């Protein structure tokens, strides 16, 4: 048993005399001579005589101490609770349930929700004035969505697929913007590098050179809170931050240099090193339009292990 479980009290093999909700964790009470194991229960319907044989698939109840009734759902019990004028809200609000659907914009909404796309609307939930139910195709039972079920869908607004987001989904969900939380990085210092200022400065530059939808999330750096190690910071930049910037700017290394402050550093602390093209590389200069040629860029591996390279991002 667990907190939030529904408990039915046996009356006869066909009926129950009480409905309750487990409200506390298991404890052992040695003041009892026998059966000292107990849990607190909030009894929301008592002194009743309800036959639940059909609801239980015509299987009789037994006098075993406690067992699970897999055939009976909360939806089956709500009419009984209503009939006895108990507070349905105590059942529904005792324990909230959350479903998280990651990258919901990439999914097939029809397959994810099916008929439930209507039932998840607030006014269509169980207990509401416009409550609605559907008959499930396999069990043939009527099903509705309780008001204590919350659906969270996550998506990256920089993702191109958001433009094709299902209209039905847009109408039923509230959209909450979650920008990077640099405050979560307060107090993280790696070899003198202030991680909050580091991310804050890069994101301000990204917002100018690209847009606010592509700012870098703080989650990349959270692991430094427990282990502020330079080699770990180097790994984050080498395997996550730099590849992300390369994708954002289509390997336009001049813009990547601006994000990382390389345009204001000496060569040793630059993450991206620039090398001018040797004009003799293509033979006679008068035969080649050198104006169309750009510098070449290389990643300076040594900079990732240099604390100065990170500090110069925000100290310039």
284 pLDDT higher than 70: no
pLDDT tens per residue across span 83-142: 775 454 554 456 788 999 998 888 888 788 887 888 998 889 988 888 999 888 887 888
Q: Is 284 contained in some domain?
A: yes
Domain total of the chain: 3
Max mean pLDDT range (22-31, 107-116, 147-156, 215-224): 215-224
* Residues 192 and 168 both lie in one domain: no
307, part of any domain:
yes
Q: Are residues 196 and 299 in the same domain?
A: yes
Phi, psi for residue 139 in degrees, rounded to 5: -80, -20
DSSP secondary structure of 112-132: HHTTHHHHTSGGGSTTSTT--
| CA nearest neighbour of 152 among 187, 131, 176 | 176
Please report which helix (H) or strand (E) contains residue 91, including its range. Answer: helix 88-93
Quote the pLDDT of residue 275: 81
Model pLDDT, residue 161: 63
- Reply yes or no on whether the pLDDT at 230 is more than 90: yes
If pLDDT is split at 50, 70 and 90, which confidence band does 285 have? low
Classify residue 177: in a domain, yes or no: no
Q: CA 16, CA 146: separation in Å to the nearest integer?
A: 23
Host domain of residue 78: 6-86
CA nearest to 256, candidates 212, 224, 298, 195 = 298
> CA-CA distance, 220 to 236, in Å (whole number)?
7
CB 17 within 8 Å of CB 48: yes
Asked, for residue 268, whether it belongs to a domain, the answer is yes
Answer yes or no: is 91 within a domain.
no
How far apart, in whole angstroms, are the C-alpha atoms of residue 40 and residue 21? 9
Q: Are residues 61 and 19 in the same domain?
A: yes
Give residue-wise pLDDT tens across range 231-243: 999 999 999 999 9
Domain boundary residue, one of 116, 150, 172 = 172
Query: Are 104 and 219 contained in the same domain?
Result: no
Considering the domain architecture, whether residues 208 and 257 belong to the same structural domain is answered as yes
Q: 81 and 33, same structural domain?
A: yes
Describe the chain by its helix, strand, coil percentages, rounded to 5: 40, 15, 45
Q: CA dist 12 to 20, 68, 74, 78, Å?
A: 17, 17, 21, 21
191 is a domain residue: yes
| Res. 221: pLDDT tops 90 | yes
Please check whether residues 39 and 131 belong to one and the same domain.
no
- Give strand pairing partners of 205: none
For 110, counting Cβ atoms within 10 Å of its Cβ (0-12 exposed, 13-18 middle, 19+ buried), the class is: exposed
Q: pLDDT at position 312, please?
A: 95
b/e string for 118-152 if b means 16 or more Cβ within 10 A?
Answer: ebbeeebbbeeeeeeeeeeeeeeeeebbbbbeebe
- Is the same domain home to 311 and 231? yes
- Of the two residues 29 and 310, the one the predictor is more confident about is 310
User: Which of 172, 190, 221 corresponds to the end of one domain?
Assistant: 172
Whole-angstrom CA distances from 103 to 146, 161, 297 are: 24, 10, 35
pLDDT (0 to 100) of residue 116: 84
Cβ atoms within 10 A of the Cβ of 309, count?
24
Query: Is 1 within the bounds of a domain?
Result: no
The Cα 258–Cα 245 span in angstroms is 11
> DSSP 3-state assignment of 275?
strand
Mean pLDDT, rounded, for 185-208: 96
Q: What is the pLDDT of residue 223?
A: 94
pLDDT at 175 over 60: yes
222 in the same domain as 190: yes
The residue from 86, 113, 140 where one domain ends is 86
Long-range contacts of 73-78 (CB under 8 A, 24+ apart): 73/141, 74/6, 74/146, 75/126, 75/141, 75/142, 75/143, 75/144, 75/146, 77/6, 77/8, 77/19, 78/126, 78/127
20/70 same-domain check: yes
Please determine, for residue 300, whether its predicted confidence score (pLDDT) is greater than 90.
Answer: yes
256-258-262 Cα angle (round to 5):
95
pLDDT of residue 250: 87
At 135-173, the pLDDT tens digits run: 888 878 888 898 889 999 888 877 766 666 677 777 888
- pLDDT (mean) for 179-196: 94
Residues 35 and 74 in one domain: yes
Q: What is the pLDDT of residue 283?
A: 65
User: What pLDDT sits at residue 1?
Assistant: 86
Q: Phi and psi at residue 52, in whole multiples of 5°?
A: -120, 20
Residue 290, domain member (yes or no):
yes
Tell me: do 133 and 59 sit in the same domain: no
What is the overall mean pLDDT for the chain? 86
Euclidean distance between the first and the last CA atom of the chain, given in angstroms as a whole number: 60
């Amino acid at each position: 048993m667990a907190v939030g479980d529904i408990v039915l009290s046996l009356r006869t093999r066909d009926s129950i005399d009480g409905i309750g909700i487990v409200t506390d964790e298991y404890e052992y009470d040695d003041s009892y001579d026998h059966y000292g194991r107990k849990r607190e229960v909030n009894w929301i319907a008592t002194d009743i005589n309800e036959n639940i044989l059909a609801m239980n698939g015509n299987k009789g109840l037994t006098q075993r101490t406690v067992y699970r009734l897999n055939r009976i759902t909360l939806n089956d019990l709500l009419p009984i609770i209503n009939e006895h004028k108990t507070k349905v809200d105590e059942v529904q609000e005792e324990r909230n349930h959350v479903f998280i659907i990651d990258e919901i914009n990439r999914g097939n909404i029809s397959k994810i929700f099916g008929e439930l796309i209507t039932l998840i609307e607030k006014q269509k939930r169980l207990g509401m004035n416009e409550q609605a139910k559907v008959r499930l195709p396999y069990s043939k039972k009527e099903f509705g969505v309780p008001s204590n079920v919350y659906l969270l869908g996550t998506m990256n607004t920089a993702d191109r697929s958001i433009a094709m987001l299902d209209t039905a989904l847009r109408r039923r969900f509230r959209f909450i913007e979650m920008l990077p939380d640099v405050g979560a990085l307060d107090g993280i210092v790696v070899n003198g590098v202030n991680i909050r200022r580091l991310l804050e400065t890069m994101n301000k530059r990204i917002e100018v050179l690209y847009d606010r939808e592509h700012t870098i999330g703080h989650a990349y750096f959270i692991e430094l809170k427990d282990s502020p190690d330079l080699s770990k910071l180097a790994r984050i930049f080498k395997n996550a931050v730099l590849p992300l910037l390369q994708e954002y700017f289509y390997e336009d290394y001049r813009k990547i240099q601006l994000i990382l402050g390389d345009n204001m550093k000496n060569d040793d602390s630059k993450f991206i090193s620039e090398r001018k093209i040797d004009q003799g590389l293509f033979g006679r200069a008068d035969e080649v339009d050198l104006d169309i040629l750009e510098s070449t860029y290389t990643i300076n591996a040594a900079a990732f292990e240099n604390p100065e390279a990170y500090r110069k991002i925000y100290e310039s």
